[in-house]
Structures are given as C-alpha cells and as structure tokens.
Amino acid sequence: MIYISIGLAIVGFGMWYVDSGGKDPSESAWKWIGLAVNTPILFGYAASEYRRDWRQPRFWGVILVLLAVHLGAFSIILTHVSRWGWLGFVLLFPIEQSGIEAALSRVGYQPLSKDNHY
C-alpha cells in the first residue's frame, strides 16, 4: 500500500506541476495534493475491508478499474475547476466508498464488516 501512496503522490505532484505551468505552489496545488492524500485513504480503507480476497487476482482487477475511474473522474473535475477544497473530498468520500462496496458486492465480494454478527 505504501508504494501506491508514493506513486499517487508523485502523480499528484506531476499533475499539479503541469497544471500550474511550473509556477510557485499556489492554491491550485492543494486540489492535487488533496487527491494524492484522499485516494490512498479511500482505497486503503476499502482494501482493508476485503483482506480475505487479497489473494484473488480478480479482486485486484476490480480495484484497479475502480481506481482508474476514480482518478480519471477527479482528473477531469480538477482540471476544470480553479478551487477544490478538502470539503469536496470529505463530502464525496462516503459516496465513493459506497460505490466501491457496491461494485465489489456486485462481482461477489463481501466486506469483513458484514461478517460481524453482534
């Protein structure tokens, strides 16, 4: 997971650098930094809920497709808005988390939290 986080941070920095034209860090940098921070938290949480499925390549294939959709959608959004604060990520987090869980459930995976019967 650490390699994914490092990779996302590098991609986020690269996107910011291209977006800013190489200028000094500005407010526009924070939207890309926010994406680089939000993405590993979102997908790290999701992956931790499906630990028993880690050995299945199909699981990681679904995760990679969802990650591509997430990064693609946010890349489009963030290149078209001048400001995107942390609140945007916070508000979308539960929606994205529900979408990830629904997609994984649709292909037959259940989170560990569903196994807890109290």
Total number of domains constituting the chain: 1
Residue 118 lies in a domain: no
Report yes or no on 114 lying in a domain: no
User: In this predicted model, what pLDDT tens digit does every residue of 7-65 receive, in sequence order?
Assistant: 666 666 666 666 656 555 566 678 888 999 999 999 999 999 999 999 999 999 999 99
DSSP letters along 37-98, please?
HHHHHHHHHHHHHTGGGTT-HHHHHHHHHHHHHHHHHHHHHHHH-S---HHHHHHHHHHHHH
116 occurs within a structural domain? no
For residue 85, is it within any domain? yes
What is the residue range of 21's domain?
A: 2-109
Q: Is residue 115 part of a domain?
A: no
Task: Tell me the per-residue pLDDT of 90-106, one tens digit each, with 9 for 90 and over.
Answer: 999 999 999 999 999 99
pTM: 0.74
